[in-house]
C-alpha cells in the first residue's frame, strides 16, 4: 500500500474496494528510503517496526487476505524494492 495514489490510475479503473493508506510507510520513512536498494534492509526493519504499531490495520488486511485475494497497489517504479513487497514479506512472516 501507498499513502499516495499511483499516477495515471483512477480509483474507478483500479476497482479498489479498500485502501488502507495508514498501513503504508510514513512520509518520513518513504523520503529517507528514496528507493535506494542499499537502504532496503534498513527500510524493511523500520517499516516492520511501524507496522507493529498499527495492529488494527494489519489485522484488517489479514482478514481480507483470509477471505480472498488482496492486491497491493504501489506507485514505485522499482518492482523489487517497494513498500508493497515489504508489506507482503511482513504479512507472510506473521502468517507462519
What's the pLDDT tens digit per position in 38-88? 999 999 999 999 999 999 999 999 898 888 888 887 778 899 999 999 999
In the chain, where the domains are located:
11-95
**What's the pLDDT score for residue 14?**
80
DSSP string, 50-96: HHHT-HHHHHHHHHHHHHS--------S-SSSSHHHHHHHHHHHHH-
- In this structure, are residues 29 and 47 in contact, taking their beta carbons and an 8 Å threshold? yes
- In this structure, are residues 47 and 30 in contact, taking their beta carbons and an 8 Å threshold? no
**What's the pLDDT score for residue 7?**
77
Per-residue DSSP letter, 20:
-
Amino acid at each position: 500500500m501507498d499513502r499516495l495514489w499511483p499516477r495515471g490510475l483512477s480509483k474507478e479503473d483500479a476497482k479498489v474496494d479498500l485502501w488502507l493508506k495508514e498501513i503504508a510507510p510514513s512520509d518520513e520513512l518513504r523520503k529517507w528510503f528514496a528507493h535506494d536498494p542499499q537502504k532496503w534492509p534498513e527500510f524493511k526493519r523500520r517499516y516492520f517496526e511501524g507496522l507493529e504499531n498499527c495492529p488494527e490495520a494489519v489485522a484488517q488486511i489479514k482478514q481480507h487476505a483470509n477471505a480472498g485475494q488482496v492486491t497491493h497497489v504501489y506507485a514505485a517504479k522499482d518492482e523489487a524494492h517497494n513498500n508493497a513487497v515489504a508489506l507482503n514479506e511482513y504479512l507472510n512472516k506473521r502468517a507462519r
